[in-house]
Amino acid sequence: MNILRKLFRNIPLLILTVLLLPTLIPAAWEGFSNLMDQLKGGDIAPFFTPSVQHWDPKIEAWAGIYDVDPNLLATVMQIESCGHPNVASHAGAQGLFQVMPFHFANGEVMLDPDTNAMRGATVLKECKAFVGDNIGMILACYNGGPSVASRPFTNWPAETQRYYLWGAGIYNDAYHQLPVSPTLTDWLNAGGRSLCDSAEAELGF
């Protein structure tokens, strides 16, 4: 009898639970999905310069196609071209991700943003396979080649040392979802601003 009384006393609670389940489960699933989206990266950090933000939809698409963190793609674009699609370096590196010509297949248009992104993402993934998950080392490999993994930091070229420090710092600020990146500000003040001015002029800002 005591068991029956307890059961009948809990019937209203059971009914309420059944009625609320259709609402609670979707809400819980939506919250879980939002959390997973945040963990996967989501949109690029808001502090990237306007000429990089201009490419945000493309960066998101490339990240999905090539399975590369969008903030890593944005970090490389920030340092390499600041979003200038037609820039070329004195060494011959081309386009948004400053990819060297030998990475392209015959007939590929190196300055085409989609092609340039494909080749840049491929190099990043090759570097990750070679050096592991350390973002700084991936970036150093992207700039200086895989041989940097076998040499101490002090023996790297000065350009690769700077690339490692700037890139790892900017990415770290993005990873921690900072609204402003002190590292990016330092990079701009150290000379990056002129590259971004050129990119903004090219994009018609």
User: Phi-psi region for residue 27, left (φ > 0), alpha (ψ -120 to 50) or beta?
Assistant: alpha
Q: Per residue of the chain (205 residues), what is the pLDDT tens digit?
A: 555 455 456 555 445 444 554 554 444 445 434 443 444 445 899 999 999 999 999 999 999 999 999 999 999 999 999 999 999 998 889 999 999 988 999 999 999 999 999 999 999 999 999 999 999 999 999 999 999 988 999 999 999 999 999 999 999 999 999 999 999 999 999 999 999 999 999 999 9
Candidate list 60, 80, 108, 159, residue with the active-site label? 80
- What's the pLDDT at 36? 39
- 7-14 contacts at long range (C-beta below 8 A, 24 or more positions apart): none
- What's the pLDDT at 150? 87
- What's the pLDDT at 99? 94
Helix H or strand E segment including 79:
helix 70-80
- What's the pLDDT at 12? 53
- What's the pLDDT at 15? 54
CATH 3.90.330.10, domain 45-203, yes or no: no
**How do the domains of the chain map onto residue ranges?**
1-40, 45-203
φ, ψ for residue 106 (rounded to 5)?
A: -60, 135
Cβ atoms of residues 54 and 83 within 8 Å: yes
Cβ atoms of residues 143 and 132 within 8 Å: no
Half-sphere exposure of 162 (CA within 13 A, CB side): 11
- What's the pLDDT at 67? 97
Question: SS3 of 151, please?
Answer: coil
Q: Which two tokens stand for residue 108?
A: 């590929």
pTM surpassing 0.85?
no
Active site residue 80: yes
